[in-house]
């Protein structure tokens, strides 16, 4: 990992000032605790078994988080694109070794802050604490949605949901990672994708 | 639903005083906002499409939460036993209609408090607010575990995990609900269970 001074994307600033409601000096104070971390494609931000001490805001690039089953097979849980936060939250917050691998699938540019610094800042900036709670809630809701999706949606419904959320997914993420995320065998996913593209072409 | 004054289980008191660290008068104040709700077996505490306004601590009994897919098939997400909280958290906290059904599978005795009262109390009792955050975090971690389990564990591993958590599950919950929770076809689950009982018998 390379560390540089943080150069935030305009979205990072807007998120904290317009959405979270931080004052300019609070934002600048928070920003001073971040640093830029570049993670080349295929390298890891977090590995299962390690303690995750930093959370990373995705300035640019994308990542996948996955677990290994006891046969060593990968299972993709989430993707992280621009404006998402990366990390193994349980490990970050408890200081225990994590269960997830978080790996760059495009060159990543992250704005990182240590869990310790972030916790200290939450004690002194109430707006930040409140927004941390809101962020956790939103992540919790999307986790329930993901569980409902995995358990009860058909393969086509799962694919439709993903494409609605990320229309550019096939241009940025390998077919086998999308297939693992959706729990669809790669050849089936290729066929589904081909049929969708053919249907699109026939209507244009 | 029948409403009665709250008669908490000893565990409810211990949870708030010993685990959460509430002072006696804070606990009594909190308790005064709870009421006892009895929900007979097969009746609902929450229905998808309704706004969930109350959270319920399970004093006694058990419940299942499930969603319906677009063919009307049920998918069991969680079970709730003694000392768990029931509710559709997203609906509770956002005031939007929920996605889950929460149904009694044994006669339920709940200690209920409205989301509005609970929020007001969290503003005046900091210990309660901090513990609400901790509770949410724990639920979030177990949600990630559940997602990992659903995606990457074998049927036998899923069953083993459930039995470790709830050794009494087959005595309290119908086979088809356990099968739905585990994503195992009921006949396969029956066979797995029979094999496990036979193996137990042969070693005793």
- Mean pLDDT over B155-184 rounds to 96
B77 CB neighbours in chain A (<8 A) are 144, 147-148, 151
Across the A/B interface, how many CB contacts are shorter than 8 Å?
Answer: 82
User: For a pLDDT cut of 90, what percent of chain A falls above it?
Assistant: 83
pLDDT(A3) > 60: no
Count other Cβ atoms within 10 Å, centred on residue B47: 14
Tokens 């300035």, residue located: A59
Query: How far, in Å, CA of B151 to CA of B183, rounded?
Result: 10
Q: What is the pLDDT of residue B33?
A: 95
A93–chain B Cβ distance below 8 A for any pair? yes
User: For a pLDDT cut of 90, what percent of chain B falls above it?
Assistant: 82
Q: Which residue of A has its CA nearest to B139?
A: A140
A48–chain B Cβ distance below 8 A for any pair? no
Q: Of A125, A118, A108, A119, whose CA–CA distance to A33 is shortest?
A: A118
Query: How far, in Å, CA of B204 to CA of B200, rounded?
Result: 7
Q: What is the pLDDT of residue A133?
A: 87
A183 CB neighbours in chain B (<8 A) are 151
pLDDT(A194) > 70: yes
**What ipTM was assigned to the predicted interfaces of this complex?**
0.89
Query: How far, in Å, CA of B4 to CA of B29, rounded?
Result: 17
pLDDT(A84) > 70: yes
pLDDT(A142) > 80: yes
Q: What is the pLDDT of residue A48?
A: 96
Question: Chain B: nearest CA to A156, how far in angstroms?
Answer: 13
pLDDT(B123) > 60: yes
| CB-CB under 8 Å, A139 with B144 | no
Q: What is the pLDDT of residue B10?
A: 86
pLDDT confidence bin for A9, thresholds 50/70/90: confident
Q: Of B149, B152, B135, B141, whose CA–CA distance to A92 is shortest?
A: B141
pLDDT(A135) > 90: no
State the angle between helix axes of A126-152 and A155-165 in degrees (0 to 180), rounded to the nearest 10. 150
Among A48, A95, A115, A151, most B C-beta atoms within 10 A, so best to mutate, is A151
| CB-CB under 8 Å, B148 with A99 | yes
User: For a pLDDT cut of 70, what percent of chain B falls above it?
Assistant: 97
Joined together, the tokens standing for residue B175 give 């086979």
pLDDT confidence bin for B6, thresholds 50/70/90: low
Q: What is the pLDDT of residue B200?
A: 86
A157 CB neighbours in chain B (<8 A) are 70
């Amino acid at each position: 990992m390379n560390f540089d001074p943080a150069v935030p994307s305009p979205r990072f600033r807007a998120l904290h000032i317009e959405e979270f409601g931080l004052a300019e000096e609070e934002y600048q104070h928070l920003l001073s605790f971040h640093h830029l971390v570049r993670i080349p494609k295929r390298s890891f931000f977090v590995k299962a078994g390690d303690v995750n001490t930093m959370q990373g805001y995705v300035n640019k690039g994308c990542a996948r988080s996955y677990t290994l089953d006891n046969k060593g097979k990968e299972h993709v849980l989430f993707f992280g694109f621009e404006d998402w936060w990366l990390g193994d939250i349980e490990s970050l917050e408890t200081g225990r070794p994590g269960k997830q691998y978080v790996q760059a699938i495009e060159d990543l540019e992250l704005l990182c802050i240590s869990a310790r610094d972030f916790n200290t800042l939450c004690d002194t900036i109430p707006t930040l604490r409140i927004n941390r709670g809101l962020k956790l809630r939103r992540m919790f809701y999307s986790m329930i949605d993901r569980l409902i999706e995995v358990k009860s949606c058909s393969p086509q419904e799962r694919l439709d949901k993903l494409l609605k959320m990320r229309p550019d997914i096939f241009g940025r993420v390998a077919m086998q990672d999308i297939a693992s995320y959706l729990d669809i065998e790669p050849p089936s996913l290729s066929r589904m994708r081909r049929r969708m593209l053919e249907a699109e072409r026939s209507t244009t």
